[in-house]
Structure 1
Amino acid sequence: MTYVVDLAPQVEKALAEMPEDGRQEVLETIAAVLVRRDVWPTLGGWDGALWFGPRSWVVFVAYADGVDVLDLGWVG
């Protein structure tokens, strides 16, 4: 199954301004969210979830076909 990842405008801007190693880690954190459906919030609601990478985090909501990334950060 193919999942959709939608990035909020502030997320796209933050990724564009990040150094390459930070951008890579955040994208790997988003990929980890996609393969771990068990950590997704309940589908169809307004619940969100926070997922941490080694030095990054993403806030997202889930739908039946993917996730919307609402915010992210990297401390590198």
Structure 2
Amino acid sequence: MPYRVDLAVRVEDALDELPEDGRREVLETIATVLVRREVWPAPGGWDAAVWFGRRSWVLFAAYLDGIDVLDFGWAG
């Protein structure tokens, strides 16, 4: 089943400012969240969740068919 990922405008802008290894790690963290539906908060509500990568984190909300990435961080 294909899933959808929407990035908040500030997330898109911030990704452009990261070095290549930071951008890659954040995108890998987003991909991990996307395929692990069991970690998603209740779809369509006001709930959000945080998922941590090796040196990154992603704040996201869920919908029936995907996630909205609201914010992220990277410790480079």
TM over 0.5: yes
CA distance in 1, matches of 2:44, 2:15: 27
**What are the residue-to-residue correspondences of 1:29-44 with 2, within 5 Å?**
29-44=29-44
Unaligned runs of 5+ in 1: none
Residue aligning to 1:11: 11
* TM-score normalised according to structure 1 size: 0.98
Paired letter, 2:4: V
CA distance in 1, matches of 2:15, 2:43: 26
Residue aligning to 2:73: 73
CA distance in 2, matches of 1:44, 1:10: 21
Shift of 1:43: 1.3
CA distance in 2, matches of 1:3, 1:75: 27
The residue matched to 2:47 in structure 1 has which SS? coil
> What fraction of aligned residue pairs are identical, expressed as a percent?
72
Unaligned runs of 5+ in 2: none
CA distance in 1, matches of 2:69, 2:3: 13
Runs of 4 or more consecutive aligned structure 1 residues displaced over 2 Å after TM superposition? none
Residue aligning to 2:61: 61
* TM-score normalised according to structure 2 size: 0.98
Question: How much is the aligned-residue C-alpha RMSD, in angstroms?
Answer: 0.5
CA distance in 1, matches of 2:50, 2:7: 15
